[in-house]
């Protein structure tokens, strides 16, 4: 397949649905919290009862504008809502309220790892309910399905990219950055596994150098970043095979099966006219004043790209900066620590080292541990003042995460403060030399690399508390 790949150029555009974290639904007062008893969040509006009217949730609009600004979009002065008709048991009204030709955000872009990806538009719409396929093993073995309408009417922002991506890796990078952004600006959980962020990938191939895009297939049902990449890779090979055999790719919607590692045809792709869009008669077109936009812009928090750049300007490597930004909890914690004036270098070593390892092992978020920014800053200051060694710091940080104790308390209680008193170190160093005459002779005969052995023994004797620099100097004095 590899050399065949060289003949073709891949074109990818993503449609990403982000569930907005509003308290109530986009056109109804019922709550949007995940995990409630099925059909408990279902007002007559959500159920599509006759005679009810939708009322637009202003917070959903605020979040739409904020996201648009974060994605460098224009926010037109006017947008409107439209009905998109289709029949499915999880859609009681028989139509979805969406935005067709006048969306809330247009003409944006995102710079992802040096590549600019255009964003065609982002529009507000309501989510559908959920079908629970009962029976043996989900879809395949179902004899009947249950409908849960709690999710129906949850606000979504659908973010549509230009067909600007040229590899599965670029698509993944774009999706990851989009996820970072919606999380940092607080509009969406960005949880692919739970479906609060969902992605449809449009993929086509064309001969290298061609100006004309090939026919695309749309892949649904990818619920992790790695699945997105796998699905795209599979789909590229499938399309190349069809074209190489003289066939034609058909425009259709395909479902990714991550267990079978393949896509399967789901349905022919609807065209816009199949949905019979028309303006939603129950909602006025929405006027968005420039003052409104500026009010929202003023609330924009620091975006992931700016955060990475700031961390790098503090001396972090690009890798470390990216890893921290990927984990929002850690980044916000790090920011608190920086605000309190701690050395970024030492803080990062703890965060990327012992803290990250502990979080991984316990599957906790940093804010679920008992470590506070103040306590980490105190620990760092003890190291900087040479009260304790870096090694002792590494030993006690886990306890600080577990029980919330302060570094100075642990040091005091366990007598961990660093021994810099040369007299005390000299005594121990002499003891170590006396106990290892063979090594002393070898050292004196030129095996100077044994110095490390002696340092290690002294550290062992002092349980890591001796000041390493002083130990080195004193041992050399004794041995040389």
CB 389 within 8 A of CB 413: no
123 vs 308, beta carbon nearer Mg ion? 123
Q: How far is the CB of 141 from Mg ion (least distance, A)?
A: 29
Q: How far is the CB of 144 from ligand ADP (least distance, A)?
A: 31
Between β-strands 217-222 and 252-257, what pairing exists: parallel, antiparallel or unpaired? parallel
Q: Environment class of residue 91 by beta-carbon count within 10 Å: exposed (0-12), middle (13-18) or buried (19+)?
A: buried
Comparing every residue's Cβ against ligand ADP, the nearest one is 13
Nearest to 268 by CA among 281, 251, 282, 285: 251
Q: How far is the CB of 262 from ligand ADP (least distance, A)?
A: 19
38 vs 163, beta carbon nearer ligand ADP? 163
Q: How far is the CB of 189 from ligand ADP (least distance, A)?
A: 23
150: partner contacted, choices Mg ion, ligand ADP, none (Cβ within 5-8 A by kind): none
Q: How far is the CB of 76 from ligand ADP (least distance, A)?
A: 17
Backbone angles phi, psi at 333, to 5 degrees: -65, -45
Q: How far is the CB of 103 from ligand ADP (least distance, A)?
A: 11
174 vs 311, beta carbon nearer ligand ADP? 174
238 vs 310, beta carbon nearer ligand ADP? 238
42: partner contacted, choices ligand ADP, Mg ion, none (Cβ within 5-8 A by kind): none
163: partner contacted, choices Mg ion, ligand ADP, none (Cβ within 5-8 A by kind): ligand ADP
30 vs 164, beta carbon nearer Mg ion? 164
CA distances from 395 to 324, 355, 384, 389, 399 (A): 22, 11, 16, 10, 8
11: partner contacted, choices ligand ADP, Mg ion, none (Cβ within 5-8 A by kind): ligand ADP
118: partner contacted, choices Mg ion, ligand ADP, none (Cβ within 5-8 A by kind): none
Residues lying near ligand ADP in the complex (CB under 6 A): 11-15, 160-163, 202-204, 213, 216
210 vs 386, beta carbon nearer ligand ADP? 210
13 vs 92, beta carbon nearer ligand ADP? 13
202 vs 349, beta carbon nearer ligand ADP? 202
Q: How far is the CB of 305 from ligand ADP (least distance, A)?
A: 22
Give the chain as a 3 state SS string.
Answer: CHHHHHHEEEEEEEEEEEECCCCECCCCCCECCCCCCCCCCCCHHHHCCCCCCCCCCHHHHHHHHHHHHHCCCECCCEECCEEEECCCCCCCCCEEEECCCCCCEEEEEEEECCEEEEEEEEEEEECCCEEEECCCCCCCCCCCEEEECCCCCCEEEEEEECCCECCHHHHHHHHHHHHHHHHHCCCCCCCCCCCCEEEEEEEEEEECCCCCCCCCEEEEEECCHHHHHHHHHHHHHHHHHHHHCCCCCCCEEEEEECCCCEEEEEEECCCHHHHCCEECCCCCCEECCHHHHHHHHCCCCCCHHHHHHHHHHCCCCHHHHHHHHHCHHHHHHHHHHHHCCCCHHHHHHHHHHHHHHHHHHHCCCHHHCCCCHHHHHHHHHHHHCCCCCHHHHHHHHHHHHHHCCCHHHHHHHHCCCCECCHHHHHHHHHHHHHHCHHHHHHHHCCCHHHHHHHHHHHHHHCCCCECHHHHHHHHHHHHC
Nearest to 9 by CA among 218, 313, 213: 213
Q: How far is the CB of 198 from Mg ion (least distance, A)?
A: 12
Residue list 13-52, contact with Mg ion (CB under 5 A): 15
Q: How far is the CB of 191 from Mg ion (least distance, A)?
A: 21
119 vs 342, beta carbon nearer ligand ADP? 119
137 vs 271, beta carbon nearer Mg ion? 271
162: partner contacted, choices Mg ion, ligand ADP, none (Cβ within 5-8 A by kind): ligand ADP
Q: How far is the CB of 119 from ligand ADP (least distance, A)?
A: 9
202: partner contacted, choices ligand ADP, Mg ion, none (Cβ within 5-8 A by kind): ligand ADP
Q: How far is the CB of 202 from ligand ADP (least distance, A)?
A: 3
15 vs 257, beta carbon nearer Mg ion? 15
Q: How many residues bind Mg ion (CB under 5 A)?
A: 1
Interface with Mg ion by CB under 5 A: which range of 9-17, 53-61, 170-178, 252-260? 9-17
Contact residues toward Mg ion (CB under 5 A) are 15
């Amino acid at each position: 397949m590899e050399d065949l790949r060289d003949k073709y150029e891949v074109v990818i555009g993503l449609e990403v649905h982000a569930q907005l974290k509003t308290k109530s639904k986009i056109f109804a007062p019922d709550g949007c919290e995940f995990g409630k008893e099925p059909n408990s969040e279902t007002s007559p509006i959500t159920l599509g009862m006759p005679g009810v009217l939708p009322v637009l949730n202003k917070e959903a609009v605020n979040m739409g504008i904020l996201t648009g600004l974060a994605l460098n979009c224009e926010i037109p002065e006017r947008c409107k809502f439209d009905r998109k008709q289709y029949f499915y048991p999880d859609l009681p009204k028989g139509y979805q309220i969406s935005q067709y030709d006048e969306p809330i955000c247009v003409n944006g872009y995102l710079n992802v790892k040096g590549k600019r990806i255009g964003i065609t538009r982002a529009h507000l719409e309501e989510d559908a309910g959920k079908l629970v396929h009962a029976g043996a093993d989900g879809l395949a073995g179902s004899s009947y399905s249950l409908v849960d309408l709690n999710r129906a009417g949850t606000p979504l922002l659908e973010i549509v990219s230009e067909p600007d991506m040229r590899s599965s890796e670029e698509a993944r990078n774009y999706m990851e950055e989009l996820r970072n952004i919606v999380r940092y600006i607080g509009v969406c959980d960005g949880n692919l596994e739970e479906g609060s962020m969902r992605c449809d990938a449009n993929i086509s191939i064309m001969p290298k150098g061609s100006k004309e895009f090939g026919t695309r297939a749309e892949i649904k049902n990818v619920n992790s970043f790695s699945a997105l990449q796998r699905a795209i890779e599979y789909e590229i090979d499938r399309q190349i095979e069809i074209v190489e055999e003289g066939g034609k790719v058909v425009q259709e919607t395909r479902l990714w099966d991550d267990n079978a590692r393949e896509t399967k045809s789901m349905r022919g792709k609807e065209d816009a006219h199949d949905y019979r869009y028309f303006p939603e008669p129950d909602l006025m077109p929405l006027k968005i004043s420039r003052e409104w936009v500026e009010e929202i812009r003023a609330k924009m928090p620091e975006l992931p790209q700016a955060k990475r750049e700031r961390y790098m300007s503090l001396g972090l490597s690009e890798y470390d900066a990216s890893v921290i930004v990927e984990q929002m909890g850690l980044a916000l914690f790090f920011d608190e620590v920086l605000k309190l004036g701690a050395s970024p270098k030492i803080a990062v070593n703890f965060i990327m080292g012992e803290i990250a390892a502990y979080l991984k092992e316990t599957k906790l978020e940093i804010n679920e541990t008992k470590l506070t920014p103040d306590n980490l800053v105190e620990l760092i200051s003890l190291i900087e003042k040479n009260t304790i060694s870096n090694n002792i710091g590494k030993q006690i940080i886990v306890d600080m995460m577990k029980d919330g104790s302060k570094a100075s308390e642990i040091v005091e209680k366990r007598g961990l403060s660093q021994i810099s008193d040369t007299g005390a170190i000299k005594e121990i160093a002499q003891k170590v030399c006396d106990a290892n005459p063979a090594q002393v002779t070898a050292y004196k005969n030129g095996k100077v690399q044994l110095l490390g052995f002696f340092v290690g023994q002294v550290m062992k004797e002092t349980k890591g508390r001796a000041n390493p620099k002083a130990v080195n100097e004193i041992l050399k004095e004794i041995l040389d």
